[in-house]
Amino acid sequence: MYPIRIAPSIIAADFSYLRADLARAEQGGADMLHVDIMDGHFVPNITFGPDIVKAMRKHTKLPFDVHLMISKPRKFVTAFFEAGANCITFHVECEDQIRTTIDEITYYDCKVGLALKPETPLSAVKGQLRAIDRLLIMTVKPGFGGQKFMPDMMAKVREAVEIRKQGGFKFDIEVDGGLNKYTIWDAARAGAEIIVAGTSVFKEVDLAKAIQDLRDNARESLAYLNPPPVDPDIPPVDPANPSGEPDI
Ligand code: DX5
Ligand code: ZN
């Protein structure tokens, strides 16, 4: 069982206090920072480029999980790697050649991931699964934070878990969009390991508690899924007399 990791999405932070929010995330127990890059073409929104990533790199040791929602990721690989990316994930629906772009990223000492829009089936990444470290399954339409979680994407997560097992692949399964302390229950049960959370972390005053709540609920849902083995020495509870007290 892969550990659950929490990746706060920096686009939900207060950019006028970016350095402070980076410190809040690191001190609050984040496992990595999710960095959404949007080009206004692949998605109908624009965020920022490598220079902002480089500026953030100076202020945190958190690994950068860079999510490229751009049409032509290949020509920006070097810039994002040099800016401090630890994993570069791009969309299988982009305009560039997939394997060439994967090779471009792995040329550097950088993890590589492939992302899928909600409407894109897993079959679109078949043939690439042995070459990637991360499979990102979008649980909202890419382009904006604060959207509603799509529970029907959990079937794709379960399918990915099965394919990984059958194929002996090593990729992590990441979900992105609308994750909070309630929806994480479904995501963890389906088999997601990296949980991106923007609004449900950076919009909270007590960021550390927000991250802990996510982790606790994920752990609880997994415990619920895999209850501890019954101790044969403990007699079963009699529903008619749950306290087991003698009826005098
Ligand atoms: C959406 C981005 C997500 C988003 C998550 O296109 O890829 O990472 O910022 O934000 P929340 O958690 O608010 O949905
Ligand atoms: Zn993202």
Q: What is the per-residue pLDDT for 99? A: 98
Distance CA 7, CA 25 (A): 9
Q: What is the per-residue pLDDT for 242? A: 72
Cα separations in angstroms, 172 against 89, 102, 237: 12, 16, 40
Which residue carries 């790697």 as its tokens?
Answer: 81
Radius of gyration of the chain (CA): 20
50 within ligand 1 shell (Cβ under 6 A): no
Q: How confident is the model at residue 202 (pLDDT cuts 50, 70, 90)?
A: very high
Asked if residue 247 has pLDDT above 70, the reply is no
What is the arithmetic mean of pLDDT over 31-42? 98
What is the arithmetic mean of pLDDT over 210-228? 87
Q: Pick the residue with more confidence: 248 or 232? A: 232
Weakest mean pLDDT among 3-7, 128-132, 179-183, 230-234: 230-234
191 within ligand 1 shell (Cβ under 6 A): no
Q: What are phi and psi of 56, to 5 degrees?
A: -70, -30
Q: Pick the residue with more confidence: 242 or 125? A: 125
Distance CA 58, CA 51 (A): 11
Q: Pick the residue with more confidence: 131 or 227? A: 131
Distance CA 219, CA 95 (A): 38
In the set 31, 65, 172, 176, the catalytic residue is 176
C-alpha 73 to ligand 2 mean position (Å)? 15
Q: Pick the residue with more confidence: 240 or 56? A: 56
Please write down the HEC assignment for all residues of the chain.
Answer: CCCCEEEEEHHHCCHHHHHHHHHHHHHCCCCCEEEEEEECCCCCCECCCHHHHHHHHCCCCCCEEEEEECCCCHHHHHHHHHHCCCEEEEECCCCCCHHHHHHHHHHCCCEEEEEECCCCCHHHHCCCHHHCCEEEEECCCCCCCCCCCCHHHHHHHHHHHHHHHHHCCCCEEEEECCCCCCHHHHHHHHCCCEEEECHHHHCCCCHHHHHHHHHHHHHHHHHHHCCCCCCCCCCCCCCCCCCCCCCC
What is the arithmetic mean of pLDDT over 6-33? 97
C-alpha 217 to ligand 1 mean position (Å)? 20
What is the arithmetic mean of pLDDT over 151-174? 97
- pLDDT, mean over the chain: 94
> For the chain, what's the residue count?
248
C-alpha 243 to ligand 1 mean position (Å)? 48
What is the arithmetic mean of pLDDT over 216-237? 79
Distance CA 63, CA 7 (A): 9
Angle at 164 between CA 182 and CA 61, to 5 degrees: 60
| 77-91 confidence digits (pLDDT tens) | 999 999 999 999 999
What is the arithmetic mean of pLDDT over 42-68? 98
8 within ligand 1 shell (Cβ under 6 A): no
Asked if residue 182 has pLDDT above 80, the reply is yes
Best mutation site among 116, 147, 180 for ligand 1 pocket (most ligand atoms within 8 Å of CB): 147
Q: What is the per-residue pLDDT for 239? A: 77
Q: How confident is the model at residue 184 (pLDDT cuts 50, 70, 90)?
A: very high
What proportion of the chain, given as a percentage, has pLDDT over 90? Answer: 87
Asked if residue 235 has pLDDT above 80, the reply is no
Q: Is 176 a catalytic residue?
A: yes
Asked if residue 160 has pLDDT above 70, the reply is yes
What is the arithmetic mean of pLDDT over 98-109? 96
Asked if residue 128 has pLDDT above 60, the reply is yes
114 within ligand 1 shell (Cβ under 6 A): no
C-alpha 145 to ligand 2 mean position (Å)? 8
